[in-house]
Amino acid sequence: MNTALKVLKADDFASDQDIRWCPGCGDYSILAQMKKVLPEIGIPPEQTVFISGIGCSSRFPYYVNTYGVHSIHGRAPAVATGLKLARPELSVWVITGDGDALSIGGNHFIHLLRRNVDLNIVLFNNRIYGLTKGQYSPTSVEGQITKSTPMGVVDHPLNPISIAIGAEATFIARSVDSNIKHLATVLKRAAEHRGTSFVEVYQNCNVFNDGAFSYAQDKATRDDATVELEHGKPMIFGKDKDKGIRLKGFSLEVVDLADGKVKEEDLLFHDEQADPALVYLLSRMRHPQFPEPIGVFRNVEHGTFEEAVRGQIEQAVEQRGRGDLQKLLSSGDTWTVKV
């Protein structure tokens, strides 16, 4: 380790590789924000590892000058879990997509979240398979026309945030590729959380599914189509901040604040430590009936997996002493044959 602490800049995290994403891809924006945030987190490049699966997003590790593994389709969470168990001190990021994390790697995704391994998982959701050139994904919407669904998608889509709540993830957030300030804040908060931090990023694939999230990206519509979650604050949205979200029985409703009939204190106040049932309700808010929440849905503390696993090893050593191989081999019934 260097003795003098170096002040890190975004450039320190840039690799020497040419970036091979399509021009105009939302991935560029996510990469830029990541490189901006990494120095702010203050962990040096050699202590940082990016692990990905397969897909456009999964080329990410090649473009950051940290340690990195470009693994196989859907399995990045498993590789990352092994690495984190071996080396808990490392800062580990899993970069994945909607097909990688939710289709072929769905099993690992759920188990990563429920174990609460201390790492960050960023899911680039573009509602399409990009690298295989345009088949529908598990987050494609019903009726979506793609190469593999010329008459429209008939599957009901998966909701990544709902799944994360089902798996009892301790940190769940959403952001949008083009909303760079917000994205940077969310990535930073994800890095600060101890336990698995799950961030869904709405990412535009301008080649195979252009405009899938235009409602959340375009300046003209995004204020009405999204609501920013802020801990302890009422859920207010709209260009003129004139609409709010209110709890009505077991569901949510959009209310108008303009006429003064509904007051701010009647609205739902966002609580990152709220009961998961409430967080689930937020995850079900879908455009155009509702503005879609962006920001941190949930942020709770819970012991991490590697802490518990390493803890048992330490406990075993403490209770029984460091293992003695010769003693083990000679344990139990033995007999001696003389020359």
Partner 1 sequence: MSTQAPSAIEKPVEHVSGITVRLVGDSGDGMQLLGQQLTNTSALLGNDVATFPDFPAEIRAPRGTRAGVSGFQVQFASHEVHTPGDTLDALVAMNPAALVTNLADLNKGGLLIVNDDSFEDKDLKLAKLATSPLEDPSMENYRLIKVSMTRLTKEAVSEFGLSTKEADRCKNFFAMGLVYWLYGRNMDATLRFIHGKFSAGKSTIAAANEKALRAGWAYGETIEALGHSYSVQPAKLTAGTYRNIMGNQALAWGLLAAAQRSGKELFYGSYPITPASDILHELARYKNFGVCTFQAEDEIAAVCAAIGASYGGQMGVTTSSGPGIALKAEAMGLALMLELPLLVIDVQRGGPSTGLPTKTEQADLLQVMFGRNGESPLPVLAARSPGDCFEIVQEAWMLATQLMLPVIVLSDGYIANGAEPWKIPDVSKLAPIPVSHPQENNNPDGPFKPYLRNELLARPWAIPGTPELMHRVGGIEKEDGTGNISYDPENHQKMVHIRAQKVANAAKLLPPQSVEGPASGDLLVLSWGGTYGACLTAVQQAQSAGMSVAHAHLRYLNPFPSNLGEILAGYKKVLIPELNMGQLRMLVRSRYLVDAIGFNKIKGKPFTVTELVEKISEHAK
- Contact positions vs partner 1 (CB under 8 A): 1-2, 15-17, 44-47, 49, 51, 61-62, 65-72, 75, 77-87, 89-90, 107-108, 110-111, 309-310, 312-313, 315-317, 319-323, 325-326, 328-330, 332-339
Our CB check for partner 1 shows the closer of 43 and 300 to be 43
CB of 136 to partner 1, least distance (A): 23
Our CB check for partner 1 shows the closer of 12 and 230 to be 12
Q: How many CB atoms lie within 10 A of CB 278?
A: 17
DSSP 100: I
Our CB check for partner 1 shows the closer of 251 and 331 to be 331
The strand pairing partners of 92, in sequence order, are: 49
Our CB check for partner 1 shows the closer of 132 and 149 to be 132
Please provide residue 171's backbone torsions phi and psi, each rounded to the nearest 5 degrees.
-140, 120
Sequence-separated (6 or more) residues with CB below 8 Å from residue 40 = 188
CB of 112 to partner 1, least distance (A): 9
Query: Is omega for the bond preceding 77 within 30 degrees of 0, making it cis?
Result: no
Our CB check for partner 1 shows the closer of 84 and 243 to be 84
DSSP 218: S
CB of 329 to partner 1, least distance (A): 5
Our CB check for partner 1 shows the closer of 144 and 304 to be 304
CB of 280 to partner 1, least distance (A): 23
Our CB check for partner 1 shows the closer of 156 and 322 to be 322
CB of 14 to partner 1, least distance (A): 11
The rounded distance, in Å, linking the Cα atoms of 200 and 48 is: 20
Nearest CA-CA partner of 122 in 248, 9, 30, 215: 30
Cα-based angle 158, 267, 170 (whole degrees, multiple of 5): 45
Asked whether 116 and 74 are in contact (CB, 8 A), the reply is no
CB of 10 to partner 1, least distance (A): 15
CB of 305 to partner 1, least distance (A): 10
Nearest CA-CA partner of 54 in 118, 147, 137, 116: 137
Asked whether 215 and 287 are in contact (CB, 8 A), the reply is yes
Q: E strands, 126-164, where? A: none
